[in-house]
Structure 1
Amino acid sequence: MLTRVVRRVVIAPAVVLLAVLMWITLPLWLLGAAALSPLLPGRWRALRLAWIFVVYLTMEAVVLAVLLGLWLASGFGRRIRSPYYEGIHYDLVQGVMWVFFREAKRVLKLTILTDGPSPDAHPGVPILVACRHAGPGDSFTLIHALMHWYRREPRVVLKDTLAWDPVIDVLLRRIPASFISPDPAEGDDLESKIALLASGLDADDAFVIFPEGGNFTPERRQRAIDKLHRLGLDKMAARAEAMTNVLAPRPGGFIAALDAAPEADVVLVAHTGLDHLLTVGDIWRELPMDKRIVMRWWQVSRDEIPESREERIEWLFGWWEHIDAWIEDYDGHPT
């Protein structure tokens, strides 16, 4: 509770103040970035990234002001979670995503491609979206795709550390979303949170989960393999060792969502273009200049998904092996 007060009372006003100061001193920042650009790899790298930071910080400040206005208009928050205001907040998310990705694609020369059948191959049913997690920005790219290209209203499970961004903190507490801690001590409570969020999906909803539990790194991959060995799941550990591009999925949350939404189809999502960015140096050298992000979708009808827990774990591992093979093949033969 104390950390939420700090985010709302200290960090959010600080972001608005920083945005104002940035615009007051903007010519100096742009001149400095332009002067640095010839010294850095890439075409106008510093200047282009500086402009994206300006756009991001400006949007943060503007959205915080809009969110405050909506809170006041809703009777000091009394009606803020009503269907009417929920729809307004989803529209706000969609608008923010549209502006930011439009600028990112224009300034940073990003290209986002989708491969495979549309997730709406079976319209009129909710979907559970299980996505590979690797590199910065993949969750935002996925939400952008779901809202703009597939007209879905996402319900997202995300780490509680992301709540330190004041817009994410405020906005995602007004629409269906769940901040969870990766701390395994949460145990069943974590799965109950996921099940609650996945309940009551309608035909326009998309429940989003990242079964790996975190971005791919070699260290996390090895820890996941070691954990399977400690649990006596040596066959699963061997399968996880054979997957070199993804982490072994954690099935508990995904299965809880399946049980809570028995009418939903499942969409599996792989992507490439944002991976191999493991350190700050990697991000500075490669992200996100002149990148092509490819997202591959597979939709599985509910009647094709096994019923028992053991069969579902096997099914999920099989799909993660398929995703690993797709990434390996695509990275070796990009088109």
Structure 2
Amino acid sequence: MLIANEGALAELRRFGEALSGLKRPQSAALRQALARTGLFVQIEPVKPERLVVAVDGSYQTLGAAYPYFLTLVQAVALTLPPRQPLVRHRLFSPLFPEERVKLETRAGGTLPVEVAAESRVRELMAEAELAVASEAARQFGGPLVLLDGGFVHFKARAGALFKELASALAENGGLLVGVIEDVSSRLLDEAVADSWVKDRPAYDREILYGCLAVGEAFILPPEVQKDEGISTVFARFAAHPQPVAFDFLTAQKKEIFWLLGVLRALTPFDGRGVPAVIDIADRYVRLTAAEVEQLVAAAVPPEIRELFLTAHRLRRAL
């Protein structure tokens, strides 16, 4: 329940006023600046002509305050045309002795163990996603694998498994793309420095908003890429003016234009700008609190749930 919402409204108005005063340069001026750095290219749809695999993950936490909780991680690989989905599960809890040791070692007395636990959950989800993607790469000959997220994220959290996936795809002629629906990078700030708002950081999301025509991609040169071995391309394949980004392996750079055509063909015009199969995988894999509660009730004895997982706040009288 919101109490005396005048204060909340005042704070929100202050937020809106602060941002409304930021004057973004015109799209034409930004395009002119960007054209000196990269390449604007119109992309035509291309039929995939190979199996497409969309990989996504989800997690849900049940319990009380640290360390009395568990987190169930789920990852799925869905194919287009449809085949039997591939699924992986991982379970995390600080109540596992081996996990508690890892968390305490990682925290090292300076990092809160709660923060270390959150980082560990994200690692486990990345590991589960890459594991199921590698399984798909081995099981299906030469697939196009779409990961929900950028390569830097996966390399940072599960570098060995990412390398294993890339190797598995290279062996059977498969291809890999990272789909980044929420762009938060700063690869283009120097390119627009002369035309951007003074004393305000230039993020790629703001720079490219409305700068790309439908079906257009912006190709970055190697010197402004975020990581060695990764080629990032921004694109707008839907009516919405917000662009997305795609990560490609530099070793597969000869396939980038063909891949962009496939990605455009897979993206609905009236959608968010990401391939529809990614959204399908997201809905399929998503865990709800009610589902996890039911699973825990079916697998964990009541006395264990009561002692270790039931938050005392749930016993409050309504």
Q: TM-score, normalised by structure 1?
A: 0.26
Q: TM-score, normalised by structure 2?
A: 0.27
Question: Radius of gyration: which is bigger?
Answer: 2
More strand by percentage: 2
